[in-house]
Structure 1
């Protein structure tokens, strides 16, 4: 039986939070969402939002789109099974709209 990817994905989300903090962006709302709802639910909320989050915009201005939820999901196929094809496409399109070459 395959290992449940949810705890690993949540850890990967905490990792991008930590890396963003090290880069100078303190994503307090993201951290609260992640602590309350865990990785998959937080990612789905952010990806399915009509507009990019303030955090996404801040990371874009910093040249750090690789630290976004969208880049985490699109760039690592092992997470694809946690999301619908539509959600993966939405994440990829958002990255491409901001000039990021997604995987």
Structure 2
């Protein structure tokens, strides 16, 4: 695992901890999947299945959409870990859910 992949994974875990602390959302299954397969593979698989990350809607409703996996994926330098299609999918989802308003 590259340093960048490790940093991405650490950000996902930190955001899950913040989501639990600030929004009361526990992402047990998401964290278990990250632990088993890594953050990048977990994110790619969620997108491949056409799903949103666990807790996306709850975080959006709580006004903390920046804690979602999708928001982390579009950040520099993490975007380089993913294909253009994967990053664009995240941009589209975030736009549809008011991230840039």
Q: TM-score, normalised by structure 1?
A: 0.85
Cα deviation for residue 44 of structure 1 reads: 1.1
Residues 71 and 91 of structure 1 are in contact (CA less than 8 Å); yes or no, is this contact kept in structure 2? yes
Secondary structure class of the residue paired with 2:35: helix
- For 1:64-79, what aligned pairs fall within 5 Å after superposition? 64-74=64-74, 76-79=75-78
2:83 aligns with 84
Query: Which ranges of structure 2 fall in alignment gaps of 5 or more residues?
Result: none
Cα deviation for residue 20 of structure 1 reads: 0.8
Secondary structure class of the residue paired with 2:3: coil
Residues 20 and 67 of structure 1 are in contact (CA less than 8 Å); yes or no, is this contact kept in structure 2? yes
Residues 16 and 27 of structure 2 are in contact (CA less than 8 Å); yes or no, is this contact kept in structure 1? yes
2:47 aligns with 47
Root mean square deviation of aligned Cα: 1.8
Query: Which ranges of structure 1 fall in alignment gaps of 5 or more residues?
Result: none
2:16 aligns with 17
- In structure 2, how many angstroms separate the alpha carbons of the residues matched to 1:54 and 1:82? 20
- In structure 2, how many angstroms separate the alpha carbons of the residues matched to 1:59 and 1:46? 17
Q: How many pairs does the alignment contain?
A: 99
Runs of 4+ in 1 over 3 A off after TM superposition: none
Cα deviation for residue 4 of structure 1 reads: 3.2
